[in-house]
Structure 1
Amino acid sequence: MKILNALLAMTAVAAVSLMSGSAIAQTYPERTITMVVPFAAGGPTDTVARLVAESMSKDLGQQIVVENVGGAGGTLGAGRVAQADPDGYTVLLHHIGMATSATLYRKLAYDTLNSFEYVGLVTDVPMTIVARKDFEPSDLRGLVEYIKANKDSVTVANAGIGAASHLCGMMLMSAIQTQLTTVPYKGTGPAMTDLLGGQVDIMCDQTTNTTKQIQGGTIKAYAVTSPARLKVLPDVPTAVEGGLADFQVGIWHGIYAPKGTPADVTERLSKSLQVALKDQNVVARFAELGTEPSPDADATPAALKAKLETEIARWKPVIEAAGQYAD
C-alpha cells in the first residue's frame, strides 16, 4: 500500500507539473520580456537584437526590452541569463562568441552546451577585412605581403577579447601564419574611432559595423568573408578571390533561454523569431547592413544547438594555436 501511495503521489506531482507547464505556455507571454545582449549598446550585435526584438514584440503582443550586459567577452551577459528564472521572460541574443568562449575562457560561470535552452538562429553576418584609408596596400594580396614583411609594426584593432573582431583577427593571423600586435578596445565604437583616426592599421569586423564607413570612403576595404560578393558592397572582392583560400568567417547570432524553460515557451519564441525574420523592415535593414535573416529551417532550437556544437569544435584548434586565452 505504501508503495502504491508513493507511486500515486509521484504521478500526481508529475501531472501538476505538466499542467503547470502547459498553463504557462498557453498564457505566455503575459508581461515584458528582457532580451540580454552581452555587448555594449550601439554595437553590431546590439543592432541585430533591437531590430529582431521590435518585430518579435509585435508578434508576441508584449514588449521585448533589450538590456546590454557587457563585459568579459560576452560571458557576463550569458551568465546572467543562465542564472535567470526559466520562465521565458529572460532570453539571450549572443553571437559566435557563445561557441568560442567555451575554449577562450579557462573558467565560465555556466556550461555552454547544458545551461541553456535553444530558440533559433537569427542571422549570419559576413566580416570585412578593412584598414585605415591611407594604408599602403591596394588589394588583399598586397596586404598579406605587406603584413608579413612588416609584422612587428602592423597593428590589428579589435573590440576586446571574445568580440567578433577579435575572433576574425585570430582567424586572419592563422590563415596567413603571421602573428601581429593586437590592440584590444572596450567595444566596437572606440576601435572604429581609432581606425578612422589612423591610430591602428587594420581590423576584421562585421558588415553591420563597417558597411557605412566603406561606402563613405572613410576606411579601406580589402575583402568580405562571405562565399560571394555582397550586393551592398559589390566592389569589394571575397577573401577567396583575394587569394585566401577557404577564408570564410560568418558571425552567426542565436537566441537562448535559461535551462529548464518549458519547451512550449521556447517553441513559441522560435515561431515568433521566424515571423520577425520575414518582417520586411527587418529584411530591408539587414540588407543595408550586408546580411540576411536566417531561413525558417535555421530559426529553430535544433538548428541552433547543432550550430553551437559544430562551432565549438571548429574554433577550438584556432584559439589553442593563437594561445590568446582569457581568465
Structure 2
Amino acid sequence: MLVSRITARGRRWIRSARRSVRVVAGCALLVAAIAPPAAAQPTNSRVTLIVPASAGGSTDVIARVLGEHMARTLDRIVVIENVSGGATTVASARTAASAPDGTTVLVAQLPLLAAPFLFTGLSYDTRTAFAPVGLINAGHTVLMARKQLAQSPTEAVAWLRANGTSANIGHGGIGSSGHFCALLLARALGVRPAFIAYRGGGPAMTDLVGGTLDMVCDQSTNAVPQVQAGAVQGILVAGPARIASISAVPTAAELGLPDVSLAVWHGMYVARSTPTAVIGRLNAALGTALADQAIVARFGQLGTSVFPPDQRSPQAHAAMFEAEYQRLGSLLSGMGITPQTVE
C-alpha cells in the first residue's frame, strides 16, 4: 500500500515536472527570439580604451573626453588604460593580440601608421592586424618654448637657428606627431638639435614647464592649456591657420617656414577579426559622442575639430588609414630614416 501511494504521487510529480519543463523551454525560445545576436555587443561589461602613452598627453585627453560619453551609450564600464613603451608599439601589439570581441579598443594617431617605417621586428602587421572603428578628430601640432627663452615667436625661431646644435626639442615619442613636427622644423632651419623622446607628451610637457627642455612639439590638445596658462611660450602652429583659443601664436608660414606643416588625427581600432556588428556598435557610440555639442566645443577649445559625420564610418577610416600610411612612408623615406630595432 505504501508503495502504491508513493507511485501515485510520483506519477503526479512527473506530470507537473513535464509541464514546468515545457514552460521553461517556451520561455527560453522566446528570449532567444527577442535577444540581440551575441556578436552585436562586447561579451562582458567592461570596455578598455588603450592609450599608447602616459597619462596627461594629447591622446590621453581625447580618450578621457570620449570614454565617459561612450560608457553611457554602450551601457558598459569604460576604462582608460595607459600602455606606454616601445614608441607606442607595446599598446599596438597588445590590441592586435586581444580577443576580437570589442572589449579592447586602441585610441591612436600617427605613430601607429609610422611604426613599420621606424622599427623592425614588430609582432604585428600594421596594415592587417587592426580593424578601423572610426575617425575622431583632426588638428595640428604646436611648437612651444620654455619661459624666458625669447621675447617673441620670431626671436625664438632665430634663437633655434643660431643655437641649433646645442638646443634640445622634446616630443612624445619616436614616430609621434611631435617628433615629425620637430624633424620638419629642423630640416626647414637647417639645424640638428637634440631630439628628446618621452613616453607621451605629458612627461615632455612637465619638463618643458620645469625648464629642463628648450622646446617641445606636441598636439594642440596638449599645448593649448599650457600656453593659455602662461606656463610655456607658444611659438608656432604647424598648420594653415592660427588656433582661435591661442590666437596670438602665429603659423609656421607666417614665420617664413611654410614647409613646417603637419596634420594630426586620431582614430579607434580593434583587433582585425572583431565582428562587423560589434564594430558597428562601437562606431555608433563614437558618433553619438562626437555629435555632442559639449564635446565639439571642448575639442574646439583645444584647437582640434571632430570629423564630419560622413567621414566617421569604418570604411572612411580605412581609406584615410591607407592614404596616410603611404604619405608617412614617403615622408620618412625622404628624410633618410630607416627602420631600427624597437626598444
TM-score category by the smaller chain?
A: 0.7 to 0.9
TM-score by length of 2: 0.82
163-172 or 118-127: which moved more?
163-172
Which of 99, 120, 140 is 1:106 aligned to?
Answer: 120
Q: In the TM superposition, what is the alpha-carbon distance from 1:178 to its structure 2 partner?
A: 2.7
1:194 equivalent in alignment to 2:207 = yes
Which amino acid is the alignment partner of residue 206 of structure 2? T
1:80 equivalent in alignment to 2:91 = no
1:164 equivalent in alignment to 2:177 = yes
Q: In the TM superposition, what is the alpha-carbon distance from 1:121 to its structure 2 partner?
A: 0.8
1:136 equivalent in alignment to 2:113 = no
Over the aligned positions, Cα root-mean-square deviation in angstroms equals: 2.1
Tell me, yes or no, if the aligned pair for 2:108 and 2:268 is still in contact at 8 Å.
yes
Closer/same/farther in 2, CA of residues 31 and 49 from structure 1, 3 Å limit: same
Give CA deviations for 1:253-304 in whole Å, capped at 9, x if unaligned: 1001101111122122112111110113322221222212221122211222
Tell me, yes or no, if the aligned pair for 2:141 and 2:237 is still in contact at 8 Å.
yes
1:308 equivalent in alignment to 2:321 = yes
Pairing 1:265-304 to 2, within 5 Å after superposition: 265-304=278-317
Tell me, yes or no, if the aligned pair for 1:171 and 1:318 is still in contact at 8 Å.
no
- Report SS of the residue matched to 2:311: coil
- The aligned counterpart of 1:173 is 186
4+ long deviations beyond 6 Å = none
Which of 53, 68, 84 is 1:39 aligned to?
Answer: 53
Q: In the TM superposition, what is the alpha-carbon distance from 1:161 to its structure 2 partner?
A: 1.9
Q: In the TM superposition, what is the alpha-carbon distance from 1:66 to its structure 2 partner?
A: 1.5
Q: In the TM superposition, what is the alpha-carbon distance from 1:28 to its structure 2 partner?
A: 4.9
Q: In the TM superposition, what is the alpha-carbon distance from 1:109 to its structure 2 partner?
A: 1.0
1:233 equivalent in alignment to 2:233 = no
- The aligned counterpart of 2:83 is 69
Calculate percent identity across the aligned residue pairs. 37
Mapped to 2, the partners of 1:297 and 1:271 lie a distance apart of 13
Which amino acid is the alignment partner of residue 182 of structure 1? F
Which amino acid is the alignment partner of residue 224 of structure 1? V
Mapped to 1, the partners of 2:288 and 2:239 lie a distance apart of 25
Give CA deviations for 1:145-203 in whole Å, capped at 9, x if unaligned: 43333221111112332333222212222333432211223432332222223222111
- The aligned counterpart of 1:19 is none
Tell me, yes or no, if the aligned pair for 2:188 and 2:259 is still in contact at 8 Å.
no
Q: In the TM superposition, what is the alpha-carbon distance from 1:134 to its structure 2 partner?
A: 1.2
- The aligned counterpart of 2:104 is 90
Q: In the TM superposition, what is the alpha-carbon distance from 1:87 to its structure 2 partner?
A: 1.3
Q: In the TM superposition, what is the alpha-carbon distance from 1:114 to its structure 2 partner?
A: 0.5
TM-score by length of 1: 0.86
Q: In the TM superposition, what is the alpha-carbon distance from 1:325 to its structure 2 partner?
A: 4.6
Mapped to 2, the partners of 1:252 and 1:289 lie a distance apart of 13
Tell me, yes or no, if the aligned pair for 1:124 and 1:253 is still in contact at 8 Å.
yes
- The aligned counterpart of 1:57 is 71
Aligned residues: 305
- The aligned counterpart of 1:7 is none
Closer/same/farther in 2, CA of residues 238 and 29 from structure 1, 3 Å limit: farther
Which of 131, 135, 138 is 1:124 aligned to?
Answer: 138
Which of 253, 263, 266 is 1:250 aligned to?
Answer: 263
Closer/same/farther in 2, CA of residues 97 and 243 from structure 1, 3 Å limit: same
Q: In the TM superposition, what is the alpha-carbon distance from 1:112 to its structure 2 partner?
A: 0.5
Unaligned ranges ≥5, structure 2: 1-35
